[in-house]
Each structure stands twice: as structure tokens, then as C-alpha cells.
Amino acid sequence: MENFSFIDILLCFILGFSLGEMYCAWQVHKIIRNVLIKHNIDDVNLQDDENISIAKLQIERVDAQLFLYEYETNNFICQADTVEELAKRCKEYKNINNAVVLDSNNIIFFIDGIVQHKS
């Protein structure tokens, strides 16, 4: 059996990472589509609309307080007592209309200051 070189391991890692990113994007697309269907919004073509930005955020829980951070940069967004307040403040303070939020092991969506749970 041949020994794996560093290049082989690196290529496998890059391939796995790329496949994981594509799977996550597919899951987010599927969840957004389900939310649109649930709210009877059927005449939406996201590719023809202006660029829609979706922020990636995460919630940190410390005692009874919830802190909202950007997922990739860990920049502080806001804090609140409930997830619903976080969604409102996120839109109010940082003008973030659409966000995918990681809360422990749950995925939550903030759409125009309203919390949408994964369906």
C-alpha cells in the first residue's frame, strides 16, 4: 500500500470541504423554498431580483442573555433576552434583513426582523 503524500491529503480535504459547502447551500435553498411555499409566496424568482444578501450569524447564550455575532468574523451585532428580540434588533441596528442563524445545533432564519424556524 502506498503512503499518502501531503498533496493527496490536502486535495481530499479541499474536495470534502467543497462538497460540504455545496450541501449546505443546497439545504439553505431548500429551507428558503419551503418557507416561501408555507407563506404562499409563489411568484419569486431570486435570480432575476437584485442581489439579496444573506448574513451568516450565530447566537451565544450567557446566562439569560443572548448575544448575536457574525459567524465568520465573530463581530458583535446585538444582544437581547429572546431570539425574537434579536431578529428585530438585528434589522433595526445593522439593517440585516435576511440571515441564517446558528443557535446551538438549530438553524433559524431572520427574515425582515421575524424569526422563521427550520421546517
The verdict on 83 and 101 lying in the same domain is: yes
The predicted-structure confidence for 44-96, as pLDDT tens digits, reads as follows 555 544 567 888 999 999 998 999 999 899 999 999 999 999 999 999 989 99
| Amino acid letter, residue 60 | E
Same domain membership, residue 41 and residue 59? no
- What is the extent of the structural domain holding 107? 55-117
Q: What's the mean pLDDT in 12-23?
A: 89
The reply to whether 61 and 38 lie within a common domain is no
Residues 37, 72, single domain; the answer is no
Distance separating alpha carbons of residues 77 and 106, to the nearest angstrom: 19
Q: Which residues contact 34 (CB under 8 A, 6 or more apart)?
A: 119
Q: Are residues 85 and 32 part of one domain?
A: no
Whether the model pTM is above 0.75: no
Judged against a pLDDT cut of 80, whether residue 26 lies above it is answered with yes
Q: Are residues 37 and 78 in the same domain?
A: no
**Same-domain check for residues 37 and 77:** no
More confident residue, 33 or 45: 33
Total domain count for the chain? 2
